[in-house]
Structures are given as C-alpha cells and as structure tokens.
Amino acid sequence: MNNVNTEVTRDQELYQEKLMSADEAVRKFLPDAHFVTFGCYAGTPVSVSKAYAEAAKDGLFTHPIETYLFRSSAEVVSYFNDPEVLKTIHLQLPFMGGEIGTLLKTARNHLGKVQYPEYIPGHFSHMESGFLTQEGDPDVHMLQVSPMDEHGYFSFGLDGSFSIPAARRAKRLIVEVNEKMPRTFGDGILHVSEVDAIVEHTSDLLVLPNKPAKETDHAIAEHIINYIPDGACIQLGIGGVPDAVGKFLLNKNDLGIHTELLCSSQIDLIRNGNVTNKMKNLHRFHTVFNVSMLPSQEYYDVLDNNPSMLCYPASYVNDASVIEKIDNMVSINSFVEIDLFGQVASESVAWKQITGTGGQVDFVRGASNSRGGKSFLAAASTAKGGQLSKIVPRLNNIVTTARTDVQHVVTEFGCANLAGMSNSQRAKTLISLAHPSFRDDLTEQAKAMGLIK
C-alpha cells in the first residue's frame, strides 16, 4: 500500500495566503498605481482585466493610470471598450491588430477632445528598453500563468514577450492561474514567493484561427521553398504565405525553430517529425519562441510540460545579434507595400496603423547576417481583387523595413535578392515581380523618377 504524503508545504501555504478574487486584488494593489502593464496575447489575465476595467468605471482611481495593454482577446478588449473606462485610464497600445483598434473608434466617437488611446511604435526587441525607459518600473504587472507545480513555480506559458521583463521589474505582481495554460520552459517561471496576489480563473485561451491559403500564397511559397535546405532554422510570421510555406516544409528534414510567434504550421512540423532542432548551434534540441497563438487547445497541449519548448522575452528572441548566431536562419514575413527603391511598409495602410512594427526588422537583420541565412519579405503582387499594386513607385506609407535591410522579395511572379543591387537594378527587378497589368505604368514612373532609362 502506497503512503500518500498529505503534508502541506510552505509553497502551498503561501499560495493560500495570497489567493483572492480578481476584484480584491485590483482594489488592494491598484488604487495608488501610476503605471501598470498586462501580459500579451494569451498571457492577458481575463478576470483581472475585467476587474480593472470595472474599478476604473466605478471611480476607484483618482488619477489617470498609464496602462499598457498589448494585443489581447476580443473578450478582454470588450472590457476596456467603454467610454467611462477610456476616460479614466491613459491607454498605451504597442499593437493595433485584432480587436484593439475598436478602442480608438470608441474613444473618438464618444469622448470628444480627450487623450485617446495611443499607439507606440517600436521593434519588438526594443519594447522592454523603450517602455521601461519612458515610464520606469511598473507599479503592477498582471498576467495569466499555468497552475503552480510541486516546486512552487508558475509558468508564463505562451507569453514571454514583454511580460517576463515587466514581471521581473514590477513592484507588485498579480497572477491569474488558468488550468488551460500550458507549462513551458526557458525564462518564463515565477515562484509563488515572488507574487503578491493569486487569482484563479479558468478561461479558453486566445486562439488564432487558420485561414485557408490562397492560390497566390501557394505560388509564393513554391518560390521560397527552394531556398530552404534541410537543417534550416525557421521563423514564420502571420498570414497565408507563412502558412503555405509551412505546408511545403513538411518535405524537409531536421528543421529548427527560433521564432517570435509560434504558430500552427510550426506545431504541425513538430508533430510530423520535421523539426528536431538538432542542427541548431544555439539552444540545440529546443524550440525557442516569445509568444504563441494557436487555433485550438489541442495545439496548445503540444506545448504543455514539453521540455523542448523554451519561452524567452522578445528582447532576447528578437535580438538580431542573437538571431545571426544561428546558422542557416530563414526568416519569412509579409508586407503591405514595397516601392521601387525597396522600402517596405508592413504595419499600415495609407498611413493608418493596422498592426504593430513587431519583429520583422529584427529577423530581417538577424537572418540576413546569419551564416547561410536568408530573409524573405513576401506578398501577393496586388490587393483589392487586383485593383491595386503592392509594388508602387514611391511609398506613401509608414516605413517598416528600410531598403538597406531588405534582402529577398517574393511575389507570385518570382523571388529576387535586392541586396547589393543599385537603384536602377532594384527598380527593374521589382517591376518584374509586379503584376503584368501594372508593369508598364511602373516602368513609366521609374523613368520619370530617373531610376531607369
């Protein structure tokens, strides 16, 4: 007969001492705060976010609180999407994707001349140094974590990004324990002795549904796949092209993963045995990421208690000097527009912010400098059903990636490496990648600009 150990450990005692409701945690630690931060993506605590928004609406805070809210689920955003909440806190937004943009619309429609939620530009790798330099250490950081293990540790699970450094420097920590959050490894661990309040709340994790790849996505992926050898280390962005590339990679062997976002196509490669990470010369045998968004809990369960999954902050994962140390690093991201000089816009449309700067530049630079590495910026050649060309004479948009950083550019009409090309060569090459119906006009524009004769 086995003896069952029923002794209550000190870690379990601390857990019970710090356990409280979301409302209690907010009312205990937030009233005097001036600068607070939340976990990102699936790391945003759902019930604590709701309690925070309700406290703001109820007048708990006597002064505007600098509040950093990252891309989060529609449910979380809905709590903040209230004029009474938005006029009480000063919301700062490092990303404008997903539902976040609705906050700006609500503020503009209902609040008049007030300080709207503000977008903060910056490379993902610089979030930590940028935010914390401007505001100092957070008074309170709030995040979602996995259940405590037998050693007294919580795991950040799916969000290392800014959350790990914010948690290390915050004066107070509120953790929301979600039994659906997978336990991952790396830097993302917290001991129960380090937190100030524990809230228990089970909720579905933020999911990113898979979208079917278009015909152009497959054509683009076919151009890219020939450049990727067995043993390459992969970073994939969001979108149809990266997903299509992931499907073609099912024919490759011994791949590695070092990525900002761990997405479903990469999990498929892991499950299929294409990823071994054994060829990596940094974090060998491990998949490295800083955030993960997947289409279902089934995908998230692949990460749970999996010792090969390492979650680190963006300041490390996205650091170009780290990325370039990985041999045969391949980075694949998308763009909105590129002009004939090679300047790339990837986060805005007609000057309107639609997402964030993210890690595109980080990985373009890192992969380009990797031994045997390559970076790709890829997109269909047209938008709006073929009415608009994504290759334009001059960029009338916010520049994400400078022309001096751009390496391979890919559309359904081919792949070209712009590195080392003159202005004239770039213009001619990019025109060849444009849709045929726009090439004549682009050629005339290039001549008028003095780029080609």
The catalytic residues are 260
Q: How far is CA 107 from the centre of its chain?
A: 25
Query: Considering only CA atoms, which of 298, 223, 295, 274 is closest in space to residue 287?
Result: 274
CA-to-CA distance for 146 and 177, rounded, in angstroms? 6
Query: Considering only CA atoms, which of 230, 226, 300, 214 is closest in space to residue 263?
Result: 300
Reported as type and span, the H/E element at residue 68 is strand 66-68
CA-to-CA distance for 382 and 239, rounded, in angstroms? 15
Q: What is the DSSP letter of 352?
A: E
Q: How far is CA 278 from the centre of its chain?
A: 25
* Degrees, nearest 5: CA angle 194-195-198: 150
Q: What three-state secondary structure class fits 148?
A: coil
Handedness of CA 135, 136, 141, 145 (dihedral sign): positive
In angstroms, the Cα distances linking 411 to 214, 218, 227, 241, 433 are: 13, 10, 15, 10, 6
* Degrees, nearest 5: CA angle 188-189-195: 120
